[in-house]
Amino acid sequence: MLLFLCLIYLTSMMIYVLHFSTYGEDRIVVGSLDLNQCLSLPDEIVGMKPEVSGADTTRAYLSNVCVARELHRNGLAYELLEKSKLVARNWGITDLYVHVADDNEPAKKLYMKSGFVYESDEPAWQARFLDRPRRLLLWMGLSIS
């Protein structure tokens, strides 16, 4: 299962991102992310939790987290993460993961602030083979109420 979350604000300011109208009101998408309910993502480090059967329905990965550059440092990415955690809980997800480039300090700081912790990292040979910066795998346990 895949969910694409968009953070949409009513605005008169023109920013060159997705711009559309709903019920006669101008809106723009200022941020988005994907929530993937699955065992693993292609070419990525695989999470180890939960350590019981049924991980295919209780494990999820966040990916493609982005906010319009003009709106960085306004708490929008944090709000997207918080909303995605609520959606994940509603889906019965107990273990939430995110991959982050080891050299992306702002993103690592954001994920740690949101409650993610380090689980593992990509082997250097794999990063070289895929021609990308080395990635870390961060994990968060979600309680289902």
Q: Check if 111 is active-site.
A: yes
Active-site choice (16, 23, 111, 118): 111
Q: How far is CA 19 from CA 66, 73, 83, 86, in A?
A: 16, 21, 22, 26
Catalytic residue positions?
111
